[in-house]
Structure 1
Amino acid sequence: MSNNKKGHSLQTPTFRRLFSKSQQNVSNSFLSKVVFCILLATYSLLPIAKTHAQETNSPFSYWGVGEVYNGGTAINSMMGGLGVANSNGIYINTLNPALLARNRYTVFEMGANTEAKSMQNTRQRSNTYNGTVGPIMLALPASPRWTLSLGLTPYSTVDYKTFSSQKLSIVGTDSVTYTYNGNGGLNKAVIGNGVRITKEMYVGLEFSYLFGVINRDVITQNLSDSQNYQINLADRTNYSGTHFKLGWAWRPKLNKEYFLNIGATADFGQNLGAKSLKRFTISNATGLSLINADTLKQTDGKISLPATYRFGVSLEKPAKLLVSLDYSMTKWSGFQNLSGSSENLRDAHTIAFGAEYIPKFDALNGYFNHVMYRVGANYTTSPYAFNGKDVANDMSFSAGVSLPLRTISYINIAYVRGKRGVLATNGIEEVYNKIVVGFSLGDFYWFRKPKVD
């Protein structure tokens, strides 16, 4: 067992040799069965998610282009969603393209998450359950200084259903009900580039193409005078356009054991093309039999996405300990929908703290010596305002582990518990529990030509 106090870099031949030897003591057949069972369970849950959902998934997705995904993987979820200044070359950094340059071996990542929510307002309470597929990414070292990444990742999700009713007169039972439905979202295809320009400095550029469809319906039903029909005003909008992100990182060595990591990214506010089709239909009371339909309006235009700026700093003892802090701001006040409205969204601010610990990475024996343990916390002032002044803040805590599989492959499991909004202040409250499962599958020799002695 090595007693080297310097700590092994996760990029060196020493790391590769020690790690390969230590993994020989792990039962590949047992781990294969575990991975298969987890994969089967995770992905079998996804189709069931929508079936078991009750009422609304998230009323917060009513605004803008829906709830925007933070861009991270299971690794980031374990540590409060941070990652602008974190990277070890084993997993892909999806938050800061500059740190792709630290991936000196081919890595493939994929994941999924399941989430249970309990929501309530002043009138009702509901529980929901859903599942989604996370980022699918591939990192390919193109040269000793340049790493390329390709991937497909969600950008935003719209999924809500709520209703209200209004009496037509003080006397009597005549009333009108309004049902609001929304579904869809945006995805993005990503090409990232990370380049090491000096021994300690990295820069990156991410180019992505955003695309997707969002449907929003308002169904009106008159419950008076035996009028057994309903009117549906439907809005289907297709979005597409390009998006850019700049990244920067600096990694100076403080002493023989510790490094300081500083990173920053900028997603500048950009426009997306939007094509909206508004229709109305009249159907019977069940909504199954169509009576009449017509197209009201077709609109071609654009929307303006908000700019996002992130900054992070971390203190790292390679292969042992990392402590990190991130701050981000999203300028939702600069958002504009197809009608030119900002929808009264406010700027969002996030502070996240996280830590990572590895018991003894260079040990030749002991499976749990190589397990990576992570914890984190996150506090966000969200852009959603209620009653014209109050903002629904989001606070969460998280923890997780990365379990070694083989060579430089891991299964990553994160648990997140959080609360968004306060019933007494915002009129709505949401408590959520999330499990995120991801796979970092790496190899020293993928896409490399074998050398013949």
Structure 2
Amino acid sequence: MRNYFQKAIYLLLFITFFSCSVFAQVNSPYSRIGLGNIFPTTFSASNGMGGLTVAQFSDLFVYGNNIQYTNPATYSFLSKTVFEVGVYANFLNLQTSTDEFTSGDANLSYFAFGFSPNNKRSQHDFGFSAGLIPYSGFQYNIQQDSLNVTDTLIGTQSINYRGDGTLYQFYGGLGYNYKFGEDSIHKATYHNSIGVGVNGGYLFGSLENITVASFPDAGNSFSTKYVRGTDMGGGIMNAGLTYQTTFGKYDKRDIENKVDTLYTLNIGASFSPSIQIDGTQSISWFTVKKFDEVEQIVDTLLIKNDTSTSIVIPAQFTAGLSFNNFKNQDGSKTKFSVGAEYTTTLWSQYEGFQYSDSLANSYRIKIGAEIIPSREDKTKRLIPYRFGAYVGKSYVVVDGEQLSDFGITIGSGIPFGISRLNIAANLGFRGNNAEIQETYANFSLGFNLNDLYWFQKREKQ
């Protein structure tokens, strides 16, 4: 098992180094608004199922050992010690009435650890998870040229808007579930469970806006450069609930007829309250000029450092359900999981250093499925296939109209030992009648590294 971990880590480091070296940065003009592009808090397995999270849990489903940050109550359903590490590649195509532009980037996307004793014969189960995931980021580089009609000697005025920086969230969470409704035939087997969980964390990072105004037609002219940088950090939290009921038939003594038609209905919900995050802001304003393509400061017009500021992170609510069949560990019958989920974020609560009055409450409706086909040969690996779709409204408002956002997803999981490599692809569209239409393709690669024995005492040989 240790060899699997070692090889996976080496492969991850290689992929991360390669991705960071090859790709530049996605250029999304809409990320200039609010806190930028909001990154998903899902991992690769969920990405293939439309982003389903809060009701995707089961300690008995073959491929259920995935960390679901959105709902910390699910941590108690982890069946093994698990490490989750992921990388992503994003490609974005921008279209206007006159132009088209394509950009892309790739990087490490998340790192998380989870553990649960998972005592199936006990009425009480606990779980824990901790990790680091991105929250949002500025990803734009916009060039705007216009002809100065009042002064023909100046000619074209060029304004460049650039944004960079990422906010991250480090979290640690606990989950607990209580089992009830004992089976009258199979003692210490329960039909129902209810769970609660909470994450506490720290949101931190830096965001920077740069605006440069220049006059390319005037050879000896100077440019003005405005830089605003914001550093922030503060505590965050979210809580979750789970309910699971099991029904159907299972009799491990009836080997000939293989009576194993057990199903679960999972219901999950999570809530993140609105929280104020403190920070500092620095503003600089320069006159600059390029000498041999090197930008040099000619004059300093304004420097204002470490001004106290704050932002209000909006509240978010998610609810979902899933229907699953499980047991039948030999793989002789097809397994499946289907689910649906609704998420809304109250961006009208957002207060920040810019664009506070142009954000709207967002929502997303997601559906997804995972299918594990049956196998006749027990030596063959069980491979899941995942599908999903989503539709909703972004928090971005352009010309009084809220932008639509929809897409489709596919994914799979390649097993090695008791661990696996999850892959997912997402093709989506953001826009409506706005001037800029975005078509994006996201690819995620996640290592789900499991080990049964990290916290178990081993017998001496």
TM-score category (smaller protein): 0.7 to 0.9
- Is 1:244 paired with 2:237? yes
**1:318 corresponds to which of 310, 315, 326:** 326
Deviation at 1:180, TM superposition (A): 0.4
Q: Is 1:159 matched up with 2:171?
A: no
Alignment-derived partner of residue 167 in structure 2: 186
Give the C-alpha shift of residue 66 in structure 1: 1.1
Q: TM-score, normalised by structure 1?
A: 0.86
**What does the per-residue CA deviation read over 1:390-443, in whole Å, with 9 as the maximum and x for residues that have no partner?**
22211111111111111x211001111111113xx1111111112110011011
State the shift of 1:35 in Å.
Answer: 5.5
Residues 1:66 and 2:77 aligned together? no
Alignment CA distance shift 1:149-1:377 (3 Å): same
Cα offsets for 1:311-370 (capped at 9, x unmatched): 00111102511110000101111111036x524111111000000111238963212xx1
**Same amino acid, percent of matched pairs:** 24
C-alpha change, 1:452 and 1:98, in structure 2 (3 Å) is same
Q: Which residue of 2 aligns with 1:47?
A: 20
Match of 2:450 among 435, 442, 448: 442
Supply the AA of the counterpart residue of 1:317. Answer: N
1:155, distance to aligned residue in structure 2 (A): 0.8
Q: State whether residues 280 and 296 of structure 1, in contact with CA within 8 Å, keep that contact through their aligned partners in structure 2.
A: no
CA 170–301 in structure 1, closer or farther in 2 if over 3 Å, else same: closer
Select which of 137, 147, 153 maps to 2:112: 137
Give the aligned partner of residue 291 of structure 1: 298
* C-alpha distance in structure 1 between counterparts of 2:7 and 2:383, whole Å: 16
Q: Please point out which of 366, 379, 384 is paired with 2:380.
A: 366
| CA–CA separation in structure 1 for the residues paired with 2:245 and 2:42 | 25
| Structure 1: unaligned runs, 5 residues or longer | 1-19, 21-27
Q: Which residue of 1 aligns with 2:183?
A: none
> Does 1:98 pair with 2:78?
no
Query: Comparing 288-297 with 348-357, which one deviates more in the overlay?
Result: 288-297
Give the match for residue 404 of structure 2: 393
Is the contact made by 1:274 and 1:338 (CA closer than 8 Å) also made in structure 2? Answer: no
Partner of 1:16: none
- Whether the 8 Å CA contact 2:20–2:107 is kept in 1: the answer is no
CA distance 1:197–1:421, change in 2 (3 Å): same
TM-score by length of 2: 0.84
For residues 445 and 266 of structure 1, the distance between their equivalents in structure 2, rounded to whole angstroms, comes to 33
Q: CA RMSD in A?
A: 2.5
Q: How does 1:376-415 map to 2 (within 5 A)?
A: 376-387=388-399, 389-406=400-417, 408-415=418-425
**Aligned residue type for 2:373:** P
| 1:416/1:433 contact within 8 Å kept | yes
**Which has the larger helix fraction?**
1
Contact in 2 for aligned 1:230/1:287 (Cα 8 Å)? no
Partner of 1:13: none
Residue 119 (structure 1) aligns with:
94
1:181 deviates by: 0.4
- Residue 70 of structure 1, CA deviation: 2.0
How far, CA to CA, are the matches of 1:119 and 1:72 in structure 2?
25
C-alpha contact 2:128 2:175 (8 A) present in aligned 1: yes
Name the aligned partner's letter for residue 135 of structure 1. Y
- Whether the 8 Å contact between 1:220 and 1:232 is mirrored in structure 2 is yes
- Measure the CA separation in 2 of the matches of 1:146 and 1:322: 24
Greater share of strand: 2
SS state at 1:42 partner: helix
Would the aligned equivalents of 1:104 and 1:147 in 2 still touch at CA under 8 Å? Answer: no
CA deviations 1:59-81 (Å, max 9, x no partner) are 12111111111200001110111
CA distance in 2, matches of 1:102, 1:141: 7
Query: Comparing 116-125 with 183-192, which one deviates more in the overlay?
Result: 116-125
Which SS does the other structure have where 2:248 is aligned? coil
Match of 2:436 in 1: 428
Query: What amino acid is the match of 2:365?
Result: I
Q: Evaluate the alpha carbon distance shift between residue 366 and residue 179 of structure 1 in structure 2; reply closer, same or farther with a 3 A threshold.
A: same
Of 215-224 and 234-243, the range deviating more from structure 2: 215-224
Distance of 1:40 and 1:258 partners within structure 2: 39
Q: Which residue of 2 aligns with 1:280?
A: 285
Q: 1:298 to 1:122 in 2, by over 3 A?
A: farther
